[in-house]
Structure 1
Amino acid sequence: MKDQAGSGNGPGATAPQRLSTRETAERLGVKPETVYAYVSRGQLSSSRAPGGRGSTFDAAEVDALARRTGRRTPSPAAGDLAFRTGITLIEDNAYYFRGVDAVELARRYAYEEVAEWLWTGELRPGVRFTAPDETLAAARRAVGALPAHSGTTDRLRVAVVASSTADPLRFDLSPEAVLAAARSLVPTLVGALPPATDASSTAGTAEAPEASDAGLARQLWPKLTPRPADEPSIAALDTALALLIDHDLAASTLAARVAASARAHPYAVVSAGLGVLEGQLHGAASGLAHRMLTEVLERGSAVPVVADHLRTGRRVPGLGHRLYTAEDPRARALFALLAQVPQAAAALAAARDVVATTARHTPLHANVDLALAVLSVSCGMSAEAGETVFAVSRTAGWIAHALEEYGERPLRMRPSGQYAGPRPPQPLPAATGEPPR
């Protein structure tokens, strides 16, 4: 990194103004982690602060970067929309479901049990979700009609629509009806997915009957990988599902709440969430981390892989989170479980190598996408497996927010646009190819 501390200073010249990391972040309107990302990409230079604690930045260089990026004022920490919710709290590098430590819930209870807690505030040990035969058959027919190259999110969206058409009570927004729909929709989504062997073979694609008492993680496993399930891996998958159920107002959750505010039925709410989840900045992150870990394992070291990312201006996937200054608690919990899975040792070591290598330039910690990538790489899953886990899990969170939003004043989320177009009155436009009159 280039040190700007004394450049251009002559005897009696005024030293350039130096900014702390926090001041730089505020001036750019970004998080402190993003400031260090700018440094790693060569867009900003830094020098050690007196005493060796932290870094300082040239104010003129920071202002120039602000002009290039168009970010001159801080972004609100909670976003432009903020409203009361009793579902998830994130603070002090931890998160809580209805006031209870979410990581502890995920460690001790199955996905379905945590979902019930999120929906109702009641813990129901041993609860299982069941897909109605008619609904599941409709969803499988719809998914089966898609092209072979269709992605998981495509299949899930189609399965939601098919499930909706099979439910004549979908417009009943009473809590009892919404909960009934949720308890059948989640297992229907899993049951509608083809087995993982379909990706490499057209033989043996018939769906095997699933035990009615099998937990959702065990039902999902064969849709993610053709490898036989072992208990440590199932435990890791189940915990991942429970950890990912909700994370406050992420982009997909906000979309789900907007749909619920318009009194869309729960299937439409989930469709809204899935639509946003498919964005490359939301649901695709774990797939990028999967491909990166695969490359690290192939090349034997994270150094050249991380260097390639930084050289081409790409962020290193699976690192950093705007809501946590330390390691993502979801990643920490999953890493601990994956350490008990023998076949995960190599991928886990590769993930640690990525974190350590990147830390030489940017102090970013692992997030849950990196942990999902360790799971998918070590268990023979595809790159999009993490997105599948995320989507299935977060369905329960979207339903929780819909239940909460149905109790609020309808259509309350109506922001006003800040018009930046030409001021009226403007002349009528001429049609293309029409001679002027």
Structure 2
Amino acid sequence: MSDQESTPSPARRRLSTKETAELLGVKPETVYAYVSRGQLSSRREPGNRGSTFDAGEVEALARRNRRESGGTPGPGGELSVRTRITLIEDDRYYYRGVDATELARRHSYEEVTEWLWTGRLRPGAAFTAPEASVAVARRAADALPEHTGPTDRLRVAAVAAAAADPLRFDLSEDAVLGTARILIPTLVAALPPLRPGRGDQGPIAHRLWARLSHLDPDEASLAALDTALALLVDHDLAASTLAVRVAASARAHVYAAVSAGLGVLEGPLHGAAGGLAHRLILEVLERGSAGPVVADELREGRRVPGLGHRLYRGEDPRARVLFGLLEEIPHAAPALAAARDIVATTARHTPLHANVDLALAVLTASCGMRSSASETIFAVARTAGWIAHALEEYGERPLRMRPSGRYAGPQPPQPLPRPQQQ
């Protein structure tokens, strides 16, 4: 008799709340949420203090959840993961069902972040970090070579802050949110200030400005930076966000999940796009016209940075909002004109709209920032989105982000390899 034949039918036994939660890969309170939504039925057995659940019903729900939410192929064969965080549809995008561009226009980065994390708006939300956490992160980041880029500094700061936090393995929602509100200001504080004595107080945008520009900020420029952060908080399952969800699926703590995102962000096909667009803007300003600059890009077989986006057929809504704010900043006018020249010149070859990278490049180039500033803005902003996705993933079945490999190598059995002669 096989093991399957000797096992009692699961439909005939009752499971405890703990067993049900483990089988579904969720917290016990989520089990009762399933009951309240009518997805599970429960009953109390005589002599049993807690509720019990039909094993067959639980197994059916587990199978349904796996089909709907874990590692399923999308319409184009790509990986598709169910999420309640961001929807991109018809050239617009939404945070928890609310137009993201309207949120970013009306609310601060911190307020938008709280909405993304909790689904609740906290007016005047502010993030602060204990001095001990900041000191550890700064010491670690300051030990790096002088030429180290900002993303390396952020990643090292995250690792250092994790090592100093004995509660990092607590993955309960309240604990992760508490860590999140400390981690973001800690990361910003670990970046070296360009304006000594400033940049450790106030909103995140104010603190970040002091680490990106030597110039004194005006109100319009700070508003543009704050809005850019809010616009970039999340953008569905970008490569770095997927890495974060894989880490969270394996129950890595939130510092480690953010570190995974920072590692992917540094790739030239992800976080570096804004820096390339920044250099393009400066070159157009130097040469006086986009024509020869675009020609050089095309001659070298390179894609003109800052144009087009695979998720938008029309204009990138993030770019539209940011360009509108930049038009209110007088000193941004030359860089804005250069960006428009790039779009118009390239349109003769391929009609592509400006994306958020080009808008960020106008902001950074016109505010005395380095080309790496776009990547820094992106990393700080997206840390909030990564944490939202980690929180969501902690509520799912563990290790669901584990696709199967499709082996395409030599068929076994193969002979043992022979040592190669030197």
TM-score range relative to shorter protein:
0.7 to 0.9
The residue that corresponds to 1:126 in the other structure is 124
Give me the whole-angstrom Cα distance separating, in 1, the residues matched to 2:244 and 2:291.
40
Q: CA deviation at 1:310?
A: 0.8
Aligned to 1:27: none
Code of the residue aligned with 1:245 in structure 2: it is V
- State the match for 1:210 in structure 2: 200
Over 3 Å counting, the alpha-carbon distance change for 1:344 and 1:79 in structure 2 is farther
| Structure 1 residues 317 and 158: alpha-carbon distance in aligned structure 2, compared to 1, 3 A threshold | same
1:365 offset after TM fit, Å?
Answer: 0.5
For 1:181, give the aligned amino acid.
T
Name the CA shift for 1:155/1:97 in 2 (closer, same or farther; >3 Å). Answer: same
- Distance, in Å, in 1 between the alignment partners of 2:289 and 2:235 is 32
Q: Which runs of 5+ in 2 are unaligned?
A: 1-72
Match of 2:139 in 1: 141
Of residues 156, 161, 164, the one that matches 2:162 is: 164
Report the counterpart of residue 328 of structure 1 in structure 2. Answer: 316
Cα offset for 1:131?
1.0
Matched residue type, 2:386: W
Counterpart amino acid of 1:143?
A
Counterpart residue number, 2:56: none
Which ranges of 4 or more aligned residues in structure 1 deviate by more than 3 Å? 75-79, 206-209
Separation (CA, whole Å) in 2 of partners of 1:149 and 1:195: 15
1:388 aligns with 2:376: yes
For residue 433 of structure 1, report the CA deviation from its aligned partner. Answer: 2.1
TM-score (norm 2): 0.81
CA distance in 1, matches of 2:217, 2:360: 17
Partner of 1:399: 387
Shift of the 299–76 alpha-carbon distance from structure 1 to 2, 3 Å rule, reads: farther
Deviations 1:231-277 (A, max 9, x none): 00000000000000000000000000000000000000000000000
Q: Cα gap change, 1:78/1:318 in structure 2, threshold over 3 Å: closer, same or farther?
A: farther
Q: 2:108 touches 2:230 (CA, 8 Å); kept in 1?
A: yes
Match of 1:113 among 105, 111, 114: 111
Aligned-partner Cα distance in 1 for 2:287–2:385: 38
Give the alignment's TM-score, normalised by structure 1. Answer: 0.79
User: 1:312: Cα distance to partner?
Assistant: 1.0
Q: Name the residue aligned to 2:327.
A: 339
1:96 partner SS: strand
Equivalent runs, 1:24-103 vs 2, <5 Å: 80-103=78-101
Q: Tell me how far 1:165 sits from its aligned partner.
A: 1.1
Q: Which residue of 2 aligns with 1:45?
A: none
Partner of residue 215 from structure 2, selected from 227, 232, 242: 227
Q: Which of 264, 272, 275 is the matching residue for 1:287?
A: 275
**Separation of aligned partners in 2, 1:77 and 1:336:** 35
Partner residue in 2 for 1:351 = 339
CA contact (8 A) 2:198 2:210 kept: no
Shift of 1:78: 6.2
Describe the superposition over 1:197-226 as per-residue Cα deviations: whole angstroms up to 9, x where unpaired.
Answer: 6xxxxxxxx654723xx1110010010011
- Closer, same or farther in 2 for the Cα pair 1:227/1:302, shift >3 Å? same
Q: How many residues align?
A: 350
1:181 CA displacement: 0.3
The corresponding residue for 2:292 is 304
Q: What do residues 376-431 of structure 1 show as CA deviations (whole Å, max 9, x unaligned)?
A: 00001000000000000000000000110000000001111111111111111112
Secondary structure of residue in 2 paired with 1:90: strand
**3-state SS of paired residue (1:223):** coil
- Of 219, 242, 263, which aligns to 2:251? 263
Do the aligned partners of residues 317 and 145 (structure 1) sit closer, same or farther apart at CA in structure 2, a change above 3 Å counting? same
> 1:418 is matched with which residue?
406
User: Residue type of the partner of 2:366?
Assistant: S
- Measure the CA separation in 2 of the matches of 1:240 and 1:295: 23
